Amino acid sequence: MDPMDRIIAFAHRTHIWELMNTDWGWPIAEITHYIGLSVLFGTVGLYDLRVLGVAKGLPVAPLGKLIPFGVLGFCINLVTGLMFFVSAPANYTYSPAFHIKVICMFIAGVNVIVFYSFLARRTNAVGAGEDAPLASKVVAAISFLAWTGVLAGGRFLGFFKPPQHWCEWCGLFS
């Protein structure tokens, strides 16, 4: 069976496909996805911007206390994102926009690991009015750009619904 058909079969079995194809299923999932991304940008993105020197009057550590809300936003978007994906897998699997989105998510993920392994303590010690270390700024810039790439990739998705033969490298995975 074609992998796309298998994913669709899974979506039917779990009734996700039926839910997403009701009048309001897809729009409500999209609304939730947009609110989730705004929470992510308002917490993780805000932390990144502060480390980069925006709103320098704020100490870094307390802004970090809002990051769990960003994690929640990400989890909400992972769930709603997978609901979109399993309901129309071919639109995503063969779309360059989706590939870029996933690559950006991967970069953001590795970046999070680097941050918590090496830089979190030093970065959180930055007080009101102080400059963050260069390494922290680099990681913050990568984070902000990667999430912006995830957002833009998602926004481009609706505009490319290419057939499989458009994707030259997709055959490599099947």
Partner 1 sequence: MHGFIIWLQNSAIGTWTREAFLPFPIILSIHVLGMALLAGAAFASGLRLSGFGAGIPLAQIRRLRPICIAGLILIVPSGLLLFISYPAKAVTNPLFYVKLIAIGIGIWLTWFATPKAVDDPALQSGPVTGRLKLYGAGLIAIWAFVIIAGRLLAYTYSFNNILW
Tell me how far apart the alpha carbons of residues 94 and 164 are, in angstroms, rounded to a whole number: 6
Q: How far apart are the first and last CA of the chain?
A: 12
Whichever of 14 and 38 has its CB closer to partner 1, that residue is: 38
Counting DSSP H helices and E strands in the chain, the numbers are 10, 0
Least Å distance, CB 22 to partner 1, is: 12
Whichever of 45 and 89 has its CB closer to partner 1, that residue is: 45
- Answer for the pair 83, 20: CB distance below 8 angstroms, yes or no: yes
- Answer for the pair 8, 17: CB distance below 8 angstroms, yes or no: yes
Whichever of 17 and 47 has its CB closer to partner 1, that residue is: 47
Least Å distance, CB 19 to partner 1, is: 16
**Which tokens is 169 given?**
């490298």
Least Å distance, CB 160 to partner 1, is: 8
Whichever of 7 and 52 has its CB closer to partner 1, that residue is: 52
- Answer for the pair 44, 116: CB distance below 8 angstroms, yes or no: no
Tell me how far apart the alpha carbons of residues 5 and 76 are, in angstroms, rounded to a whole number: 25
Least Å distance, CB 117 to partner 1, is: 24
Binding site for partner 1 (CB under 8 A): 27, 30-31, 34-35, 37-43, 45-46, 49, 54-59, 61-63, 65-66, 69, 128, 148, 151-152, 155-156, 158-159
DSSP 22: S
Whichever of 19 and 61 has its CB closer to partner 1, that residue is: 61
